[in-house]
Chain A
Amino acid sequence: MAKPAIVVDNISMMFNLHQEKVDNLKEYFIKLITRKLRFNEFWALNDISFTVEKGDRVGILGFNGAGKSTLLKVIAGVLKPTKGTVKVNGIVAPMLELGAGFDMNYSGRENIFLYGATMGYSRKFIEEKYDEIVEFSELGDFIDVPVKNYSSGMRARLGFAIATAVEPQILILDEVLSVGDAKFKKKSEAKIRSMFDKGITVLFVSHSVNQVLNICNKAIILEKGKVIAQGDAKEICAQYEKMVKGK
């Protein structure tokens, strides 16, 4: 068997909830001396373990504040877990928020290279993919306009085009499949589906059970930072729907 794509091993993530936000020196020293620096511990993730095999498409379900986005950020390497380890085999394309790496004063063309470099790709590699990206994003002549003048739909389209064109091995989708108009939505779903056929591993966060059923073959339910169920997508989705109704 091939190496699993993602191994999440007993991770916990703790945040210090500052009672008051201290971000200047004067306040910090006053509070340090008067011993008023107090923190509330908050465990966003609590001892989570699971394994994702290559080619698996895992839906992550859970109510608001269950820790879904925190989990994705830990897997993407943005957050370092307080305890535990995450092992990821392969290139991860995080689509936590499309177009997060864009520079507003830069044109679309320049941003393609910047965004590609942010994901660790060489200029040469992006040059090969350049035409495909421009075509898929449907930006046409707008490609030389600074991104600050783009509409939010155009920005998201460009972000989606870059993130998928580089053929990552692991795709992290955080409710991003609602990009653009209906036509583009269809196109982006088709694109992601075509990537499934190449055996890409997907982590997908959504509130919509239908979307999860549509895309994923496995699912996990998170509640208050803990995994309460994992397994086949159909069973888990049924369980989740029960939870929703019960609430």
Chain B
Amino acid sequence: MKYLKNFYKYRFLLYEIVRKNIKLQYRNSVLGIFWTFLQPLLTTCVLVLIFGGIFGKKDESLVNYPIYLLCGRLLYEFFTQSTKRAMRSIRNSASVIKKVYVPKYIYPLSNVTANFVTFLISLLVLVCFVAYYYFFSEQQPHITPYVFLAIVPIIILFILSVGVGLILSTLAVFFKDIEYLYEVFCMLLFYATPIIYKLETLKIQSEAVKLALMANPLYSIIQMFRDCVLFGEMMNPKHIIYSACFSIATVIIGLVLFYKKQDKFILHI
């Protein structure tokens, strides 16, 4: 109750920081907010150009390779960008935290939220892609009413990002090395998650490796998202349960860790 009351009092701060992060991200660039669309659009073009020949051809089950790739990439990009920003948030706000009392979790939370807003805007690219291929190509994405369920994986992903962001921001205060380690981890994650390929096409022999790849919550979330947007199917309930439980557990671990350590932050930043 006490925590909720405090959060309510500082909701304006959350709003102001989210606003600030979005405003400052594209300030002084000529195209401004357009980069939210352009960036995923251009990077997807590059990836399609490079990997389209390898993974995209002769695979009916993918339905439409550019959209398949864009779905994965948008979600992956949101997850890594928001967690990276959250990780650095405490250190970056050191000047405030050292002088004024503020609930510190506001910083990782607002960074994830700001990225979430730009992510939602960037989803417009996906809408354009889907519309284009739906009307002008033979590789039509299967659009069904299930498309509205896409909100489910998006919410789960947001919760997961908040949890991971809380954990990383706490660790990064005590060990700066985490920032570099996480950079490498994100690269690993990009290739370990079926973004540019389909898990089945890898033909992995080892059951253990397969299980490890499927244990990745991003795999479940991206898979659910594609089911809604591209394949037009009901998502696999196993994916929902697994990723939701994983995300909520992460948030709980993150909150406990953060609350246990937050009084020591000031001694380290």
User: Quick check: which of A48-56, A114-122, A217-225 contacts chain B, the rest being far away?
Assistant: A114-122
Contact B15 A118 (CB under 8 A): no
How big is the A interface, by class?
A: 20 to 34
Q: With an 8 A cutoff between CB atoms, is A178 at the interface?
A: no
Q: If the complex has contacts A110-B20, A122-B12, are A25 and B100 also in contact, measured as CB distance less than 8 A? A: no
Q: If the complex has contacts A77-B101, A106-B20, A117-B15, are A100 and B96 also in contact, measured as CB distance less than 8 A? A: yes
Chain B residues near A28 (CB-CB < 8 A): 175
User: Quick check: which of B133-141, B186-194, B261-269 contacts chain A, the rest being far away?
Assistant: B261-269
Q: If the complex has contacts A78-B97, A78-B99, are A105 and B24 also in contact, measured as CB distance less than 8 A? A: yes
Q: With an 8 A cutoff between CB atoms, is B27 at the interface?
A: yes
Interface residues of B in 6-48 (CB under 8 A from A): 9-10, 12-13, 15-17, 20, 23-24, 27
Contact A106 B24 (CB under 8 A): yes
Contact B98 A100 (CB under 8 A): yes
Chain B residues near A96 (CB-CB < 8 A): 99-100
Closest chain A CB from B164 CB (angstroms): 18
Contact B98 A117 (CB under 8 A): no
Contact B12 A101 (CB under 8 A): no
1/0 contact string of B155-190 vs chain A (CB within 8 Å): 000000000000000000011111000000000000
How far apart are the CA atoms of A103 and B92 in the complex, in Å?
10
Chain A residues near B10 (CB-CB < 8 A): 117, 120
How far apart are the CA atoms of A101 and B16 in the complex, in Å?
12
How far apart are the CA atoms of A194 and B175 in the complex, in Å?
47
Q: With an 8 A cutoff between CB atoms, is B144 at the interface?
A: no
1/0 contact string of B87-115 vs chain A (CB within 8 Å): 00000000111111110000000000000
B contact face: mostly helix, strand, loop, or mixed:
helix
Closest chain B CB from A148 CB (angstroms): 12
Contact A118 B100 (CB under 8 A): yes
Contact B100 A119 (CB under 8 A): yes
Closest chain B CB from A123 CB (angstroms): 6
How far apart are the CA atoms of A96 and B263 in the complex, in Å?
19
CB-based nearest B residue for A94? B100
Interface residues of B in 209-261 (CB under 8 A from A): none
How far apart are the CA atoms of A114 and B21 in the complex, in Å?
11
Closest chain A CB from B2 CB (angstroms): 14
Contact A103 B24 (CB under 8 A): yes
How far apart are the CA atoms of A76 and B220 in the complex, in Å?
45
Closest chain B CB from A177 CB (angstroms): 17
Q: With an 8 A cutoff between CB atoms, is A189 at the interface?
A: no
Q: With an 8 A cutoff between CB atoms, is A79 at the interface?
A: yes
Our pick among B12, B17, B100, B178 for the contact of A121 (Cβ within 8 Å) is: B12
Contact A114 B20 (CB under 8 A): yes
How far apart are the CA atoms of A118 and B95 in the complex, in Å?
12
Chain B residues near A16 (CB-CB < 8 A): 267
Contact A100 B20 (CB under 8 A): no
Contact B102 A118 (CB under 8 A): yes
Closest chain A CB from B15 CB (angstroms): 7
Q: If the complex has contacts A23-B174, A105-B27, A117-B15, are A79 and B266 also in contact, measured as CB distance less than 8 A? A: yes
Closest chain B CB from A76 CB (angstroms): 6
- Counting chain B CB atoms within 10 Å of each CB, the highest count among A24, A79, A96, A117 belongs to A117
- Counting chain A CB atoms within 10 Å of each CB, the highest count among B15, B17, B99 belongs to B99
Q: With an 8 A cutoff between CB atoms, is A226 at the interface?
A: no
Contact B12 A123 (CB under 8 A): yes
How far apart are the CA atoms of A118 and B100 in the complex, in Å?
8
- Could you name 12 residue pairs across A and B whose Cβ atoms are closer than 8 Å? A25-B175, A77-B101, A78-B101, A101-B96, A103-B20, A105-B24, A110-B23, A114-B16, A116-B12, A117-B15, A118-B16, A121-B12
Q: Which residues on A are within 8 Å of B, measured CB to CB?
A: 15-16, 23-26, 28, 76-80, 92, 94, 96-97, 100-101, 103, 105-106, 110, 113-114, 116-123
Q: Which residues on B are within 8 Å of A, measured CB to CB?
A: 9-10, 12-13, 15-17, 20, 23-24, 27, 95-102, 174-178, 263, 266-268
What 9 pairs between A and B have smallest CB-CB spacing?
A77-B101, A100-B99, A117-B16, A117-B13, A80-B263, A117-B12, A101-B96, A25-B177, A24-B177
